[in-house]
Chains A and B, each alone.
Chain A
Amino acid sequence: MLIQIFLLLFIIYAVIKVALRYKDKIISLQEFVLWTIFWFMVGFVVILPETTSLIANLVGVGRGVDLVIYLSILILFYLVFRILVRLDKIDKDVTKIVRTIALKEKESAFATSYAKASEVRKAMADKEKDKQS
């Protein structure tokens, strides 16, 4: 079927991408192996879709396609959850960094304000006095 060819082409593309990422040391060997196995399994299912029906019948789901869809939704939900938790943590970290910078830089921000300027003026006046005496 045409869809099988398209899917297989996509899988080959994905595996090449994974391999290139491993070559550039963006992902570890472990990740490389896991992703390759994952894509080969997807390829297997694409070539022999009837195999999913076997597993589906084993766990009590009518059709193999249904099982794949159920599992996909489950995995997607889990990934979204993981991303949300991660995002929340990153948000908090950004706030922490922004706050630290704001508190550290307060002196320099204060320097531009009149209050600091008056301090400088006073110090200069003191210096003048010292010179005169």
Chain B
Amino acid sequence: MLNKNVWIIVPAHNEQENIFGVIKSLQELTSNIVVVNDASTDRTCDIVKVLGVYLLDHLVNRGQGAALQTGTDFALSKGSKIIVHFDADGQMLAKDIYRIITPIIDLEAEIVFGSRFMEKRSKIPWTKRYFILKPAIIFNWFFTGIKLSDAHNGFRALSAKAAQKIKITQDGMAHATEILDQVRASDLKYTEVPVEIVYNQYGQRFSSGFKIIRDLIFARIFNKK
């Protein structure tokens, strides 16, 4: 079981196929599970209600970034010390949570990113590996100055300090790069740990990559702080 100060945030939008299994696997580790239902139009909400976890409802769909921030706000208000971002699509393994929070417990980092590439466990479709993930890694590196071995993998753990400093304003999928940007701006200590990603679906496609880049460049131009 995980320490009671560890909270897991699961943003969910139309995940009725996977959410039950994901929550069940998380409940073997902790009861501090926050599902942010991002205005699902399927039965996701009903399924989550039965499971007896914390459920936050977005009245209208605001995107994964917005849902993560809502869940993080809630966990912080509950006095969470470590916050884990976990996807509802069943691609991540609950047991990897132990690995991803270890550097924070050992005070080695304030924020930990899961990486698909550090070990060869994940079976990534080769088109995705070379045409989507590799360019994304390079883009993140240029855009934020932080070089990770993986990109836009939603698996990460934040200390309370990091969670307070990082404010996700990118409502869509561009939040992953935005977080890196803020990690650099706030000078937070970060590290990577290998995690396994199970590919039952393709996930983010090439076109979503363009959308992410568009969102980020737009933010750079218009929201100079």
Which of the four size classes fits the interface of chain A?
A: 20 to 34
A91 to B169, CA, bound (A): 10
Q: How far is the CB of B217 from chain A (nearest CB, A)?
A: 12
Encoded as 1 (CB less than 8 Å from any A CB) or 0, chain B from 202 to 223 comes to 0000000000000000100011
Answer yes or no: A66 CB below 8 A from chain B CBs: no
Instruction: Find the B residue at minimum CB distance from A108.
Output: B57
Q: How far is the CB of B119 from chain A (nearest CB, A)?
A: 36
**Known contacts A98-B59, A102-B59: A91-B171 contact under CB 8 Å:** yes
Encoded as 1 (CB less than 8 Å from any B CB) or 0, chain A from 77 to 110 comes to 0000000110010011011001101110110011
Answer yes or no: B140 CB below 8 A from chain A CBs: no
Q: Which of A95, A112, A113 contacts B171 (CB 8 A)?
A: A95
- With an 8 Å Cβ cutoff, the count of chain B residues facing the other chain is 25
Complex contact A99–B66 (CB within 8 A) = yes
Q: Which of B52, B58, B223 contacts A102 (CB 8 A)?
A: B58
Hey, which chain A residues are within 8 Å of B55, CB to CB? 106, 109-110, 113
Complex contact B70–A113 (CB within 8 A) = no
**Known contacts A88-B218, A110-B55: A103-B66 contact under CB 8 Å:** no
Hey, which chain B residues are within 8 Å of A110, CB to CB? 54-55
Q: Which of B22-80 contact A (CB under 8 A)?
A: 36, 49-60, 62, 66, 69-70, 73-74, 77
Instruction: Find the A residue at minimum CB distance from B215.
Output: A88
A110 to B34, CA, bound (A): 11
Q: Which of A84, A88, A94, A103 contacts B62 (CB 8 A)?
A: A94
Hey, which chain B residues are within 8 Å of A88, CB to CB? 218, 222-223
A66 to B53, CA, bound (A): 65
Complex contact A103–B59 (CB within 8 A) = no
**Known contacts A99-B70, A103-B74: A109-B57 contact under CB 8 Å:** yes
Instruction: Find the A residue at minimum CB distance from B73.
Output: A103
Encoded as 1 (CB less than 8 Å from any A CB) or 0, chain B from 161 to 187 comes to 000000001010000000000000000
Hey, which chain A residues are within 8 Å of B57, CB to CB? 102, 105, 109
A91 to B170, CA, bound (A): 10
Complex contact B70–A84 (CB within 8 A) = no
Instruction: Find the A residue at minimum CB distance from B171.
Output: A95
Hey, which chain A residues are within 8 Å of B53, CB to CB? 113, 115
A112 to B56, CA, bound (A): 12
Instruction: Find the B residue at minimum CB distance from A117.
Output: B52
Q: How far is the CB of A15 from chain B (nearest CB, A)?
A: 35
Answer yes or no: A6 CB below 8 A from chain B CBs: no
Instruction: Find the B residue at minimum CB distance from A114.
Output: B52
Q: How far is the CB of A102 from chain B (nearest CB, A)?
A: 4
Instruction: Find the A residue at minimum CB distance from B172.
Output: A91
Complex contact A103–B70 (CB within 8 A) = yes
A110 to B222, CA, bound (A): 38
Hey, which chain A residues are within 8 Å of B60, CB to CB? 94, 98
Complex contact A106–B56 (CB within 8 A) = yes
Complex contact B54–A106 (CB within 8 A) = yes
Interface residues in chain A, defined as those with a beta carbon under 8 Å from any beta carbon in chain B:
84-85, 88, 91-92, 94-95, 98-99, 101-103, 105-106, 109-110, 112-115
Closest 7 CB pairs of A and B: A114-B52, A102-B56, A99-B70, A95-B66, A109-B55, A113-B52, A95-B62
- 10 A–B contacts from the bound complex (CB under 8 Å): A85-B222, A94-B60, A98-B66, A98-B70, A99-B58, A101-B59, A102-B56, A105-B57, A113-B49, A113-B54
